[in-house]
């Protein structure tokens, strides 16, 4: 018969073998879980890097586009300023009224002016306030010789009064039959819509008579004195 110790040793060896095999089976499973976790971390890191790269590209493209737009805007403004400076060099402001490349429409009214000198009707020529090169328009100008003055300014400002128009005529367009009597300090009467001007009348070049849409201005120098205008039919294309 075998000795009892022999059986005990044999049993211990079997148990140790089972433990070894169990440990060997568990180790690959643990390693597999660790590798999978590592792969997940790597995938997350790659996705994060790709997102960062995409955001960086979008930012760079936006910055480049914004810079190009800004440069284009600055170039446009520069050209406009150069254009205005060029026009102002050729046709500088008169009585604070600039000559601009385009007609303004924010404040757009029309008035009618009649002038009598020693009882004789004075024709107000077309082209006052519009240079012959047609490069610009003063805010106050005439397109026709019917006495209608076009006032086209960016806003209702103080320097679009009667004296400003007469100064533009005198200083910039005197060749268009400017009456020398307009420089005289005495002898003038001014009527607004048939009523005498309320202020003291000196030289019309110095009298600031404010103007409103479809006002009728009558100016008289010397005698006789024709009746001032009280009614005038403006063309339908020039509404009040």
| Tens digit of each residue's pLDDT, the chain (240 residues) | 445 565 566 666 666 666 555 555 545 555 677 777 777 777 777 777 777 777 777 877 777 877 777 766 665 454 444 444 444 578 999 999 999 988 888 999 999 999 999 999 999 999 999 999 999 999 999 999 999 999 999 999 999 999 999 999 999 999 999 999 999 999 999 999 999 999 999 999 999 999 999 999 999 999 998 999 999 999 999 999
Task: Report the length, in residues, of the chain.
Answer: 240
How many Å apart are CA 203 and CA 179, to the nearest integer? 12
DSSP assignment of 36-65: HHHHHHHHHHHHHHHHHHHHHHHHHHHHHH
Which value, in Å, is the radius of gyration of the alpha carbons in the chain?
46
Please give the pLDDT value at position 93: 95
What confidence score (pLDDT) does residue 73 get? 67
How high is the pLDDT of residue 86?
41
User: Is the distance from CB of 136 to CB of 89 less than 8 angstroms?
Assistant: no
DSSP of 85-119: HHHHHHS--BTTB-EESS---SEEEEEEEEEEETT
**Structural contact between residues 221 and 187, judged by C-beta atoms closer than 8 angstroms:** yes
């Amino acid at each position: 018969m075998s000795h009892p110790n022999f059986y005990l040793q044999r049993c211990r060896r079997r148990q140790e073998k089972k433990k070894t095999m169990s440990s060997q089976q568990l180790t690959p499973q643990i390693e597999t879980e660790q590798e999978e976790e590592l792969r997940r971390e790597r995938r997350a890191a790659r996705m994060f890097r790709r997102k960062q790269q995409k955001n960086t590209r979008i930012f760079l493209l936006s910055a480049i586009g914004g810079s190009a737009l800004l440069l284009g805007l600055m170039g446009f403004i520069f050209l406009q300023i150069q254009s205005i400076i060029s026009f102002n060099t050729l046709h500088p402001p008169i009585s604070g009224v600039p000559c601009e490349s385009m007609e303004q429409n924010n404040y757009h009214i029309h008035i009618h002016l009649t002038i009598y000198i020693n009882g004789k009707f004075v024709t107000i020529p077309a082209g006052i306030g519009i240079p012959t090169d047609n490069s610009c328009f003063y805010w106050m100008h005439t397109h026709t010789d019917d006495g209608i003055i076009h006032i086209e300014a960016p806003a209702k400002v103080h320097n679009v009064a009667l004296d400003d128009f007469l100064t533009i005529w005198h200083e910039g367009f005197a060749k268009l039959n400017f009456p020398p009597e307009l420089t005289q300090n005495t002898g003038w009467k001014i009527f607004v819509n048939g009523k005498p001007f309320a202020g003291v009348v000196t030289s019309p070049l110095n009298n600031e008579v404010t103007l409103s849409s479809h006002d009728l201005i009558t100016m008289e120098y010397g005698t006789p004195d024709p009746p001032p205008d009280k009614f005038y039919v403006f063309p339908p294309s020039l509404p009040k």
